[in-house]
Amino acid sequence: MSSPKHDLFIAGQWVSGASYQPNVNPSNHEDVLGYYAQADLPLVETAVAAAHQAFDSWSVSGIQQRSDALAFIGAELIARQFELGALLAREEGKTRKEAIAEVVRAGQIFHFFAGECLRMTGDILPSVRPGVSVEVSREAVGVVGVITPWNFPIAIPAWKIAPALAYGNCVVFKPADVVPGSAWALAEIISRSGIPAGVFSLVMGSGRVVGECLVNHPNISAMTFTGSTGTGMQIAQKCAAQLKKVQLEMGGKNPQVVLDDADLRQAVELSVQSAFFSTGQRCTATSRFIVTEGIHDRYVAAMKERIAQLRVGDALADDTDIGPVASRSQLEQDLSYVQIGRDEGATLAIGGTLLERGTPGNYLAPALFTETHNQMRINREEIFGPVATVIRVKDYEEALAVANDTPFGLSAGIATTSLKYASHFKRHSQAGMVMVNVATAGVDYHVPFGGRKASSYGAREQGQYAKEFYTIVKTAYTFS
């Protein structure tokens, strides 16, 4: 049986691509989910032109029309959570349970912004000049280019596309090459939501062709990107040269502090969830465990025991705790950092080896390094896989200093029973999101998401804070 072809969605029509690429299951390299269209430059130009043309009417469309469209999308995502979750697990490698939860989260995001369409507010103020009133309102930015990563192939597109449409923008969407299936499924639902032609387009393809065109196109008013710090910095520079609005979510090297007074069992469980679930492929994942010396040895022993219990296997298998690494190139990067850690003198306490399962896949045993210090490359650079380190410190003060000694600042956690240290850490941690006795990976859909330093740039994503990026403020004066 041949694998189906999946086209691009441009200007309200399904359009053949310039070429097609296979979508390969990382749990089983012999399983091809389908062939997905790749856009060339003329196709991207067509999508941008259609969005630019559609913007004038969509940006002033009725809020009920927008709300109904987003509610439709959200409802179908949730109704099809098991089907789409299986697709997501099959193409990205996270477990079926995690994948289903991601689809539900995407549906919830669309429902949230369906409500936001109806909650648009402004201000009417008196002027300092008699007889003049002042109205402050928000308007859509324009055509938004959306570039998303492979690790959350339906949730991250949802939290960019939903607010963009809710506030009256048009969208040209480029997903990551590794995970076209989830993006295509989302686009297919959006295509039936009732939004006018041109308001939303799906242009799959390489960053060199599709991404470069979106970033540099004069009719793209804003760019929102989630991915590597290096690529994000390049996008920021190009957008700044055009005075184009830009929003970036990039890397992380997130710390988890474990103090002597922590509940050991709780600390180990949240550490394992933070570092290794979703195969460690989350920008909010913990990669540095900073542990005070009084609990260090007990913590390391308990972590090794818990990691040894984790079942690595096919993403669709019910007994799998951790699926495969998403792609061969990412697996090679993970393995290279395991070797770097060894060369730097760290102790590989457990894992870090390739595993064989019933099918050819990207299976890697979760790795934990001990006896590390914060200047090692494995503690400075983002690995983005199931590889974590332990750093021994003397006390809370040193732990905080080490936690903040990083070019990144997305998420940070602390395990402690002390209200004093918990409160101090929340205030003094140099991260955009702080977790107390909660895993660093895992956030709600209705509150702001983002970090500091090299982790984020621009306005926050998600929740009501999303309007700061997807709208512009207008002040109007009226003499009566």
The residues that are catalytic are 249, 283
Are the C-beta atoms of residues 197 and 187 closer than 8 Å to each other? no
Angle between helix axes 81-92 and 63-79 (nearest 10 degrees) is: 70
- C-alpha–C-alpha distance, residues 425 and 430, integer Å: 9
Choose among 238, 239, 172: nearest CA to 204: 172
Q: Copy the structure tokens of residue 279.
A: 């195969």
- C-alpha–C-alpha distance, residues 138 and 129, integer Å: 23
User: What are the two backbone dihedrals, phi and then psi, of residue 40, each rounded to the nearest 5 degrees?
Assistant: -100, 180
The strand pairing partners of 433, in sequence order, are 411
* C-alpha distances in Å from residue 62, one per residue of 36, 140, 152, 200, 224: 34, 13, 31, 17, 25
The residue type at 261 = D
Instruction: Judge residue 208's burial from the number of C-beta atoms within 10 Å of its C-beta, 0-12 exposed, 13-18 middle, 19 or more buried.
Output: exposed
Q: Copy the structure tokens of residue 42.
A: 């003329």
Are the C-beta atoms of residues 186 and 9 closer than 8 Å to each other? no
The residue type at 470 = Y
- C-alpha–C-alpha distance, residues 127 and 269, integer Å: 57
The alpha carbon of 393 is separated from its chain's Cα centroid by a whole number of angstroms, namely 31
- C-alpha–C-alpha distance, residues 74 and 66, integer Å: 12
